[in-house]
Amino acid sequence: MAETNFRGPLNSMGSLEIEAGNTATIEPMDGPSGFYQTIAMLDPRSAPFQKDGTAPGRQPAFLGNPDFWACDNKPQVSTTNAIAASAVATSLTAMALQTTQLTNPNAGNPFIAVGVPILPQGTSTVVNTIAIDFGFTTGTTTANSSTVAVPDTTKFTLGQWIVVGGAGASNQASFFTQVQTLSTNGTTMTVLPVVPAAASCAPIGQANIFGAGQYPPAYNFGPSGVAPTFVSPNLQAGVLRVHNPAEALARNVSVTLATGGVATAVTFLVVGYDLWRMLMTELITSPATTSATTSYGKKAFKYIASVTPQSASTGGNSYSVGIGDTFGFPLRADEWEQTNSFWAGTASANSTGFTAAVTTTPATNTTGDVRGTIQVGAAGAGTAITGTLSANGTSRLALIQNLGVWNVVYCTPVNPVPMFGVTQSIT
């Protein structure tokens, strides 16, 4: 049979395509598509391609593989008060979370951001949260200036809609804006229609509008009134919206008791959202103890909505809420052999530090993470991988996942559990 070349892109929708009404239909002949001798990525440097040629070996390419490059960036330093400063616990009264953006000491790397708008899965209402390890890069902002200094302008495209973390009024809000120009020196860009209201080394993430042609009417062309409304940590790739590994860091929460002499344990209910913006909860218990101590959660949070003590402090003791060294897998990891983890330039040599996905359905607020975790340093509830170097803002974490056959074949629009884990705890 003769070869077939076409412009593409080939987008095989399978059961994602709605045939009638508003519900996906699962058909017995739905994918996966079969490709003899696997698939290949065409070398983008090889244009123009002679579509109607006949000679073999005329298209350079890279042979593909089934690995998912799931997470790749440098997490911020583990701290005990990134989410809430030390305060006396009042029973069933939410703690005061951080509201003012801190300056990121590591330009180019993700950082905590305040006032980040997200659209939780299954809802139509945008909520503001604290985002952990937010953004794919950073920008140094100046109050009331459209010029933003960035480490590398190649991370951006003209017309790209972005979310600038915590550089809004008084450094207490994140805001949407659009890349208008990119300098030839590779380190400066301008943004409009909204400009930073405060100076900051601000983390920058992707907004939920894609396509350089989507401009506000006052600045160029496009639909009237176009404006993003929430974070969308993805990359535009033609018709696709590819999940961006640089924005896929999610990690555990910690509760630190400042002083000892506590006669009664205090439990804290953490409410937030995971990497995929699913509502999730976790109970973290700070024990009765004679000395200062830090207790660690086991779940990987991306966004924090509230932290509420379930009982009061005894003896006026104070507690703070921070982030630790346990990071979540973006996809369900049932076996260590289905993962490749790299931390601070070293590959994990064995399963130490790895915790498989929880399979209790649904998860509870005391079970582990629904997709599994890797602990890189001492700030966690388990054992760290060899080396025990805590997150420091400069060391890179890369998580590559090779899902099992069952995970891929049995994941459908009506049963996402095999790839994304069991239902999160919401109580």
- Tell me, yes or no, whether 142 lies in a domain: yes
Cα 294 from Cα 323, distance rounded (Å):
11
pLDDT confidence bin for 387, thresholds 50/70/90 = confident
Cα 409 from Cα 319, distance rounded (Å):
46
- From the number of C-beta atoms within 10 Å of its C-beta (0-12, 13-18, 19+), residue 293 rates as middle
pLDDT above 90 for 215: no
Give the pLDDT of residue 58: 77
- Tell me, yes or no, whether 171 lies in a domain: yes
Which has more pLDDT, 225 or 281? 281
> Among positive and negative, which fits the CA dihedral 318, 321, 323, 324?
positive
- Span 301-343, pLDDT tens digits: 999 999 999 999 988 899 999 999 999 999 999 999 999 999 9
Average pLDDT over residues 399-424: 91
pLDDT confidence bin for 130, thresholds 50/70/90 = very high
Q: pTM of this prediction?
A: 0.91
Domain hosting 116: range is 96-247
pLDDT above 80 for 45: no
Instruction: Read off the amino acid at residue 152.
Output: D
Alpha-carbon Rg for the chain, nearest whole angstrom, is 23
Average pLDDT over residues 217-231: 64
Structure tokens at 331: 């996809």
Instruction: Confirm if 139 and 148 have CB atoms less than 8 A apart.
Output: yes
In the three-class reduction of DSSP (H, G, I as helix; E, B as strand; rest coil), residue 381 is classed as coil
Which has more pLDDT, 213 or 408? 408
Cα 180 from Cα 190, distance rounded (Å):
6
Mean pLDDT of the chain: 91
Give the pLDDT of residue 11: 83
DSSP assignment of 179-232 equals: EEEE-TTSSEEEEESS--SS-EEEEEEEBS---TT---TTTS-SSTT----SB-
Average pLDDT over residues 188-206: 96
Structure tokens at 28: 């017995």
- Span 283-310, pLDDT tens digits: 999 999 989 999 999 999 999 999 999 9
Cα 333 from Cα 421, distance rounded (Å):
9
- Tell me, yes or no, whether 310 lies in a domain: no
- Tell me, yes or no, whether 234 lies in a domain: yes
- Tell me, yes or no, whether 190 lies in a domain: yes
pLDDT above 50 for 217: no
Give the pLDDT of residue 100: 96
- Tell me, yes or no, whether 137 lies in a domain: yes
Give the pLDDT of residue 46: 81
- Tell me, yes or no, whether 385 lies in a domain: no
pLDDT confidence bin for 67, thresholds 50/70/90 = confident
Domain count, the chain: 1
- Tell me, yes or no, whether 279 lies in a domain: no
pLDDT confidence bin for 404, thresholds 50/70/90 = confident
CA-to-CA dists, residue 364 to 278, 288, 425, angstroms = 14, 23, 5
